[in-house]
Amino acid sequence: MVTRGLGPRPARIVVSGLTAVVVGAAGLATTVTSPATAADPCVTAFPESGLTDGQAVEGLTVSKGTDPESGAFTGTISGAPLQDGIAPGVDLILAELTSPAVDKNGIWAGMSGSPVYADPEHTQLIGAVSYSLNEGSTHLAGITPASAMLDLMPAPAATVAIPRKVADRLVADGVATRAQLANGMRPLPTPIGVSGLTSRRFDQLAGWLDSQGPVANATIGSTTSTADASDIVPGGNIAASLGWGFVSAAAVGTVTAVCGNDVVAFGHPFNYTGDSTYSLHPADAVAIVPGATFGGYKLANLGDRVGTISDDHLAGIHGTFDAGPTAYDVSSTATYQGRTVSGTTHVTVADLVTDAGLANAFAASDRAMDKYGKGTARASWTITGKRRSGAAFELTHSDVYTDTYDVSSAPLMDLAMQAYTLLENQSEAVTITGISTATTISDEAVSWRIGRTYWRKNGAWKRVTAKSPAVVRAGRTANIRVELYSRDAASRYVTVPVTASRKSAGRTGRLALQGGFSGGEDYYFYDSSEEFVDAYGDSMVGGSVPESIPAVLEQLRADQRNDTIASTFTVRGTATKKRSLALGQVVSGSVLVPVVVRP
């Protein structure tokens, strides 16, 4: 099977902010500990009416490690809050900020949620850094008011326009250029960082996460972060994860406030889903990377899961310290030349279980092979799921795949087809709850193609042609010899038995031979003295209904394996006879053999 990469899955357009990029999270445990700040008094929202132009402010954020003081910043309020600047009833506060990291990178992706205070004791919370200018790096930050964050008030918003008078003053003060202000302010980027995939696999799979927001690849971390729940403090790192483990996908931002077991962060939506099922993690910042795709952004390692992000609204995300949301596991094992690699990814967004299963399988095969290349893969997998009624179902499949370009991709095309056939069926909504794969890979990439056919006459094999059909005696079984050829090996021959019933005497039949792998193949047809027409009912007459889930599962289980030749012998007026010949190697091609049945 030859593939040139998996195409991106169609993605819906989602207006969302982004935070930072995850470097690594492999092998994370799920221990939950209480945050050190759980007993601290809850922060108070500083009234917007009390803000004045030029008022001094200070805030906390992490530029490296887990200490919020590492990126501490100061600044001043720029003018009065923009009334309804974010949404009706939600103003936008502007402030010019400064710190060594801000001076170097501007307001960076990953600062989302950084608390801004009106007092040195950090008890009067003005709000969270959450917006920046659309153009270039800048010291000018948009702040979501604390009152809105603590209430998590939802309302639609994408960018915030800067009023002309405010823009004139900001330009005059040298805070920003006219070009930067022209497009208003936007939520700080919060890219979903993906770890565990090579750059090629990231390119193949990144489109499947587009519905969750922009995606950024990251280098795989070699160790798990030691950050824990005690590091989730105002100004500290926080990660919202779609899945973690062998392959991870998460966005990292900043904690705005902690009150008992409750946490608010980001200051803008992640995916704006309202209710959400992300897992909550601490994170260890590795570095602030200047420039690049999203302007400056933060690289970070995830710590263990410590809770659930249950709300994703306009003013930010809200989570609690607990055992975490329900996780669906996808697991993979791959073996190559005696080296076996296994890994499991825990997925908390049900819609992404299939995508994570594909990514997990890719990661296992790539780590086992430690290269891209040709070969043969003997793969098996199990897909588990639930129907609309809650009833469980399971689909198990195994097959052989040969690829001359990228053997790791070959099995996953079929896995994706089966999973999405189930998900996109028109009968009832289903949920995929797990995927497990096992693959053994070798370097040999020999595949076969059906060639010429022969029948036995007078003790010798005679080639079948349009003018010289095969002959079988009624009531007996005869063998048809089939040539298999390959560019990588000498031709080989197999025999396919054909049994003609007594009732078929004097008629001409048709033997159809079909290789298991049919992608991009040619078909060869021989003339016959009889015409065969398959009659199909018109589904438009009287209407129709989609196939049921049991029917879809039955069809998928009946799929022909790539390493078999299916034979179908048909004679009009008699029962069709079907057989399957297993070869153990991939075979393609198709041929129709005319067969004359003699008394």
566 & 498 share domain: yes
Calpha distance 340→358 (Å, rounded)? 18
Residues 6+ apart with CB under 8 A from 275: 310, 311, 312
**SS3 per-residue string spanning 479-517:** EEEEEEEECCEEEEEEEEEEECCHHHCCCEEEEEEEECE
pLDDT at 108: 81
Residue 416's CATH number: 3.30.1490
Domain of 489?
Answer: 448-598
307 & 332 share domain: no
Helix/strand/coil percent split, the chain, to 5: 15, 45, 40
Burial class (CB in 10 A: 0-12, 13-18, 19+), 371: exposed
Do β-strands 44-45 and 124-133 pair in parallel, antiparallel, or remain unpaired? parallel
Joined together, the tokens standing for residue 37 give 């700040």
Look at the pTM and tell me if it is higher than 0.85. Answer: no
**SS3 per-residue string spanning 416-454:** HHHHHHHHCCCCCCCEEEEEEEEEEEECCCCCEEEEEEE
Q: Please give the backbone phi and psi of residue 16, each rounded to the nearest 5 degrees, phi first.
A: -150, 155
Calpha distance 372→4 (Å, rounded)? 12
495 & 578 share domain: yes
The total number of structural domains in the chain stands at 3
> Three-state DSSP class for 31?
coil
- Of 110, 97, 86, 72, the C-alpha closest to 294 is 110
- Tell which of 325, 350, 385 closes a domain: 325
- The label of the residue with tokens 């021959």 reads 493
91 & 139 share domain: yes
52 & 10 share domain: yes
Calpha distance 121→113 (Å, rounded)? 18
Residue 81 · residue 51 · CB < 8 Å: yes
Residue 337 · residue 321 · CB < 8 Å: no
155 & 254 share domain: yes
- The label of the residue with tokens 């962060």 reads 265
- Tell which of 417, 442, 467 closes a domain: 442
Q: Please give the backbone phi and psi of residue 517, each rounded to the nearest 5 degrees, phi first.
A: -95, 120
Average pLDDT by consecutive 10-residue portion of the chain (599 residues)? 31 29 43 40 84 94 89 90 83 91 85 92 92 71 88 48 57 55 53 70 65 48 67 93 90 90 91 92 83 64 92 92 95 97 94 92 94 95 97 97 92 92 93 98 95 94 93 94 94 95 93 83 35 41 75 94 96 92 94 94
Q: CA-CA distances (angstroms) from residue 453 to 184, 225, 484, 554, 562?
A: 72, 63, 9, 32, 20
316 & 333 share domain: no
Calpha distance 342→333 (Å, rounded)? 4
Residues 6+ apart with CB under 8 A from 25: 195, 221, 224, 225, 241, 244, 245, 248, 250, 281, 301, 302
pLDDT at 106: 84
Joined together, the tokens standing for residue 25 give 């999270």
539 & 550 share domain: yes
pLDDT at 328: 97
pLDDT at 167: 58
- The label of the residue with tokens 């607990």 reads 322
- Of 492, 488, 472, the C-alpha closest to 598 is 472
- Tell which of 325, 347, 373 closes a domain: 325
pLDDT at 260: 86
151 & 252 share domain: yes
- Of 140, 163, 144, the C-alpha closest to 86 is 144
- Of 73, 45, 40, the C-alpha closest to 230 is 40
103 & 233 share domain: yes
- Of 356, 364, 362, the C-alpha closest to 432 is 356
151 & 117 share domain: yes
Calpha distance 366→551 (Å, rounded)? 35
Residue 277 · residue 310 · CB < 8 Å: yes
275 & 374 share domain: no
Other beta carbons less than 10 A from residue 108's beta carbon? 28
Residue 227 · residue 235 · CB < 8 Å: no
